[in-house]
Structure 1
């Protein structure tokens, strides 16, 4: 749209080159600082590396990256800082009369930390909590930012529940790459197939999904898991799966399209995230969705029109949803048609970009008024 001045990233230069080509972004507009991320990446392969060490290094990486951006930030009208990495540059931008927008892709950091800690305790799995400094840093960003962008009303609610000024909040849902995602096949007629796409982890509500699927009575059922599996829950998974659950691993976006097109429903029982992209991708493939509100689903689609929205951390509700869609093929077909229509309404990423530009202009006016 002609507004981009610079992107600052912790990607290594060779990945930045790849993104530059794929996203049609001039390479000279991408500045990379891979130092902190690189140290953590290498450290993760060492036998003595643990969550405590990584927590300390994540603080160091955040400080170094934030100050690096601040030191080389060019003149601009608006600066968008991804949560956790934007504080110093945001202050520099504001001192020049520019706007500072904080962008958070998932729920408020305190909410996320608390609900994940509760979940790990429930399943008796060790988790090192988010470093307190990182929480305080993000809360300083919330205070400093002119406006805050989030992808769903679920995320907005977690901010409001933490006492954030509602006048600062702007909900801007993500788009869909309609050129990449569209129906390429049909679901099988000889079985009922569910697909999960994403990291198979506690954050994604995996135990509830597996409990629900095990309780789901169907003569020929399949659960296809596309994505990586969190090693911390491998023993928990083993106790809950049988030969009706198939682990595919990480695949290309083109293959994701195939799995979404050939599933009777996408199931996403997350307990915490912002707005799972795979939901819109599923709709673009005509695949109905079973999801919790904590996926941002209520911002994307309506219950019983494009899919079913069920309570988080509730295996019985998931089983009931599986049974309903399996028993009501006409409902599934109506949902599939509604999904395709809704995907067109959401539009591609250009719609998202246009909304972000509107927020930038609005934030710029707020920043100038604060200076006056």
Structure 2
């Protein structure tokens, strides 16, 4: 079976790139895999990788001061370019199954399906209109412009992809629920929970006694960082620190972060590249990771923190809630619920032995989400869809 996997990112680079790499590792054992990704160079792998370059129009847009605020246009142009390049390639590289990331594969689906291929949509977020709704609420709350909303053409492309898709793959039951609530048949939406390298992400000895609350990720409207800041300040924990790893994506949030850092000496912002830096240097000095997302298809950093022996706090709109046993290896909180989040932080700070036990269980939980288990999930779906031959069964 010839399988094509497409994603407009570099293999293993960033959250989306890590998901792409994971999917490739799971799929190449099930057939003859070809990966189309962005960029100019192909990494060394056991399967074929075709980088299709990057959109010059997106780069031009980013170079114009007024227009570079239109992040929605930058993303749209980049995804359109990628989709066009892949669809051209597929005319000479036919496949039996194409798996494409949502918003990036409308044209490629049309070409592949015209040649008789099955099409599976790989959605790394919740149902995109649900995601759009959550983002808009945050922009209204922040009194920010619509910089980070999705372009209407992106949503149209997504609707076309959903219609063409024979199957939709999501990262969590949380994400699946948003599709089912939108009217999709539950049998059309399958969950494949991501995995992490628990050798790279491992427990280390904490170097100090500071109760350090950690957030890792882009500071964008759907990530809910302002709620975490409010909860941390409301918890008012002695000898504590909030460490935020990542940069802000909008003008409103950059202003928010500047004001927050100026007013609070125990809130800090740092910038790390976990694809190159040792992640345990950050996780190892932290006490708890918080993902206050108002929308998140999964949030892989939650599993990474758990593998490092940290309890985590996530919202019920975050896909990582799938792996949390509330009160056992972390906590689940309603989105935007500052009071509950503050109480959970205060509980963890005041109960060190309980926090350590929750971290120990979190590590055990993370170890269950390994490459072998991930490949088994894909194998089960292939078997259900009648795509596994005797060679691979």
Give the TM bin, normalised by the shorter chain: 0.7 to 0.9
From 206, 210, 215, the counterpart of 2:234: 215
State the secondary structure of the residue aligned to 2:301. helix
From 244, 261, 266, the counterpart of 2:289: 266
CA distance 1:285–1:99, change in 2 (3 Å): same
Root mean square deviation of aligned Cα: 2.2
- CA distance in structure 1 between the partners assigned to 2:207 and 2:131 by the alignment: 35
Unaligned runs of 5+ in 1: 367-372
Q: Deviations over 1:306-346 (max 9, x none)?
A: 10111111111111111010111121121011011111212
Q: Deviations over 1:174-216 (max 9, x none)?
A: 0011231111322633x21111111123221111111111112
- CA distance in structure 2 between the partners assigned to 1:356 and 1:72 by the alignment: 25
State the secondary structure of the residue aligned to 1:31. strand
Q: Please show how residues 110-259 of structure 1 align to structure 2 within 5 Å.
A: 110-128=129-147, 129-186=149-206, 188-189=208-209, 191-232=210-251, 233-241=253-261, 242-253=264-275, 254-259=277-282
Q: CA deviation at 1:124?
A: 0.6
CA distance 1:341–1:61, change in 2 (3 Å): closer
From 28, 39, 49, the counterpart of 2:67: 49
- CA distance in structure 1 between the partners assigned to 2:78 and 2:214 by the alignment: 36
Instruction: Identify, as 1 or 2, the structure richer in helix.
Output: 1
Please say if 1:345 is aligned against 2:357. Answer: no
CA distance 1:119–1:56, change in 2 (3 Å): closer
**Residues 77-86 or 255-264, more deviating:** 255-264
Please say if 1:355 is aligned against 2:377. Answer: yes
**Residues 84-93 or 107-116, more deviating:** 84-93
- CA distance in structure 1 between the partners assigned to 2:320 and 2:79 by the alignment: 30
Q: Deviations over 1:260-301 (max 9, x none)?
A: 122111111011111111111111111110111222122112
Aligned to 2:33: 5
Aligned to 1:72: 89
Q: CA deviation at 1:102?
A: 0.3
CA distance 1:209–1:308, change in 2 (3 Å): same
| Kept in 2: contact 1:66–1:85 (CA 8 A) | yes
- CA distance in structure 2 between the partners assigned to 1:322 and 1:55 by the alignment: 35
CA distance 1:317–1:187, change in 2 (3 Å): farther
| Kept in 2: contact 1:261–1:282 (CA 8 A) | no
Output the TM-score relative to the length of structure 2: 0.83
CA distance 1:88–1:354, change in 2 (3 Å): farther
| Kept in 2: contact 1:227–1:251 (CA 8 A) | no
Q: Deviations over 1:70-104 (max 9, x none)?
A: 23222333110111122232233333333211000
| Kept in 2: contact 1:80–1:102 (CA 8 A) | yes
Q: CA deviation at 1:60?
A: 4.3
Q: Please show how residues 7-26 of structure 1 align to structure 2 within 5 Å.
A: 7-10=35-38, 12-14=39-41, 16=42, 20-21=43-44, 24-25=45-46
From 295, 298, 302, the counterpart of 1:279: 302
Q: CA deviation at 1:62?
A: 3.4
CA distance 1:62–1:224, change in 2 (3 Å): closer
